[in-house]
Chain A
Amino acid sequence: MEKPTASHPAIWVTHAAAVTALGDTLDATWNRLMEGRTAIRRIRRFSTAPYASHMGACIEDLKPEGSASMIHGLMDRVLEGFPPLPRDTLLITATTKGPVDVLERVCRGQASDGKAGLIPHFVKTLSQRLGLGSPGFNVSAACASATVARAQACGRIASGRVKQVAVICAEMVSEFVFSGFSALQILSDRPCAPFDRNRKGLSLGEGAAAFVLTAPGREESPGALPLAKIHGWGVASDAEHITSPAPDGSGLIRAIARALEVAGVGPGAISAINAHGTGTVYNDRMELVAFNSLFKKRKIPVHSVKGAVGHTLGAAGGIESAVSIKALQKRRLPPTVGLRVPDPLGKGRLFFEPVPLSPGYILSTNSGFSGMNAALIIGGGNLP
Chain B
Amino acid sequence: MKVDLLGAGWALPADGGTGKRARAFAFASRRPAEGATRIRLDPPYPRLARMNPVSRVALAALVGAMKTAGLASWRRKRDIGIVAATRTGCLNTDMDYFKEILAQGGASASPHLFAYTLPSAFMGDASIYLGLVGPAFVIQEEDPFSLTGLTLAVDLLFMGDARFMGVGAWDDGLGGPFGSGKDSGPHALFMVIGKADENRTGHGPIQMTRGDAVLFRGKPVMSLVDIFRAYAPPFHGDWRGRSGNP
A interface residues (Cβ-Cβ under 8 A, vs B): 49-51, 96-97, 103-104, 106-108, 111-115, 117-121, 123-124, 135-142, 144-145, 148, 151-152, 155-156, 158-161, 175-176, 179-185, 234-243, 250-251, 254, 258, 261-262, 368-372
Q: Are A182 and B109 in contact (CB under 8 A)?
A: yes
Q: Are B142 and A237 in contact (CB under 8 A)?
A: no
- Distance between B183 CB and nearest chain A CB, rounded to angstroms: 13
Contacts of B95 in A (CB 8 A): 103, 106-107
Contacts of B246 in A (CB 8 A): none
Q: Are A139 and B137 in contact (CB under 8 A)?
A: yes
Chain B, 95-113, contact with A by CB distance < 8 Å: what is the 0/1 string? 1011101100111011100
Q: Is B70 close to A, CB under 8 A? A: no
Closest A residue to B94 by beta carbon equals A103
Q: Are B106 and A179 in contact (CB under 8 A)?
A: yes
Contacts of B151 in A (CB 8 A): 161
Q: Are B111 and A183 in contact (CB under 8 A)?
A: yes
- Distance between A332 CB and nearest chain B CB, rounded to angstroms: 33
Q: Are B139 and A96 in contact (CB under 8 A)?
A: no
Contacts of A371 in B (CB 8 A): 124, 127-128
Instruction: Report 27 cross-chain contacts, Cβ distance below 8 Å, ordered by A residue.
Output: A96-B118, A107-B95, A107-B98, A111-B177, A112-B177, A115-B178, A118-B91, A123-B141, A135-B141, A139-B137, A140-B89, A140-B120, A141-B136, A175-B101, A176-B97, A180-B114, A183-B109, A183-B110, A235-B81, A235-B161, A237-B124, A237-B132, A237-B135, A237-B136, A238-B127, A239-B128, A242-B115
- Contact of B109 (CB < 8 Å), options: A111, A148, A156, A180: A180
- Contact of A140 (CB < 8 Å), options: B102, B118, B132: B118
- Distance between A286 CB and nearest chain B CB, rounded to angstroms: 15
Q: Are B97 and A180 in contact (CB under 8 A)?
A: yes
Q: Is B88 close to A, CB under 8 A? A: yes
- Distance between B246 CB and nearest chain A CB, rounded to angstroms: 15
Q: Which of A107, A243, A368 has the most CB of B within 10 A?
A: A107
Q: Are B87 and A120 in contact (CB under 8 A)?
A: yes
Chain B, 71-105, contact with A by CB distance < 8 Å: what is the 0/1 string? 00000010001000101110100110111011001
Q: Which of A140, A141, A142, A370 has the most CB of B within 10 A?
A: A370
Q: Are A370 and B121 in contact (CB under 8 A)?
A: yes
Instruction: With A239-B127, A371-B127 as known contacts, state yes or no: A159 contacts B159, CB within 8 Å.
Output: yes
- Contact of B177 (CB < 8 Å), options: A114, A185, A235, A240: A114
Q: Is B155 close to A, CB under 8 A? A: yes
Contacts of A235 in B (CB 8 A): 81, 135-137, 161
Q: Are B109 and A123 in contact (CB under 8 A)?
A: no
Per the bound structure, the CA–CA distance linking A138 and B151 in Å amounts to 15
Instruction: With A96-B118, A107-B98 as known contacts, state yes or no: A236 contacts B140, CB within 8 Å.
Output: no
Given A118-B87, A140-B140, A159-B158: 7 more A-B contacts, CB < 8 Å:
A113-B177, A117-B178, A139-B139, A155-B155, A176-B97, A369-B120, A372-B120
Q: Is B133 close to A, CB under 8 A? A: yes
Q: Which of B77, B87, B111, B140 has the most CB of A within 10 A?
A: B140
B interface residues (Cβ-Cβ under 8 A, vs A): 47, 77, 81, 85, 87-89, 91, 94-95, 97-99, 101-102, 105-107, 109-111, 114-115, 117-121, 123-125, 127-128, 130-142, 148, 151-152, 155-156, 158-161, 176-179, 210, 212
- Distance between A280 CB and nearest chain B CB, rounded to angstroms: 14
Contacts of B152 in A (CB 8 A): 152, 155-156
- Distance between A40 CB and nearest chain B CB, rounded to angstroms: 20
Contacts of A107 in B (CB 8 A): 95, 98-99, 102
Q: Are A119 and B140 in contact (CB under 8 A)?
A: yes
Q: Are A183 and B114 in contact (CB under 8 A)?
A: yes
Contacts of B139 in A (CB 8 A): 137-140
- Distance between A47 CB and nearest chain B CB, rounded to angstroms: 8
Contacts of A160 in B (CB 8 A): 210
Q: Are A180 and B135 in contact (CB under 8 A)?
A: no
Closest B residue to A49 by beta carbon equals B106
- Contact of B124 (CB < 8 Å), options: A140, A241, A262: A241
Contacts of A261 in B (CB 8 A): 160
Q: Are B106 and A51 in contact (CB under 8 A)?
A: yes
- Contact of B106 (CB < 8 Å), options: A50, A118, A254: A50
Per CB-CB distance, the 7 closest pairs between chain A and chain B, nearest first, are A370-B124, A180-B114, A50-B106, A114-B177, A235-B135, A183-B109, A141-B137
Contacts of B85 in A (CB 8 A): 137
Closest B residue to A94 by beta carbon equals B137
Q: Are A141 and B124 in contact (CB under 8 A)?
A: no
Instruction: With A237-B132, A237-B135, A239-B128 as known contacts, state yes or no: A184 contacts B121, CB within 8 Å.
Output: no
Q: Are B98 and A104 in contact (CB under 8 A)?
A: yes
Q: Which of A96, A237, A262 has the most CB of B within 10 A?
A: A237
Q: Are B89 and A119 in contact (CB under 8 A)?
A: yes
Q: Are B120 and A184 in contact (CB under 8 A)?
A: no
Per the bound structure, the CA–CA distance linking A152 and B148 in Å amounts to 12
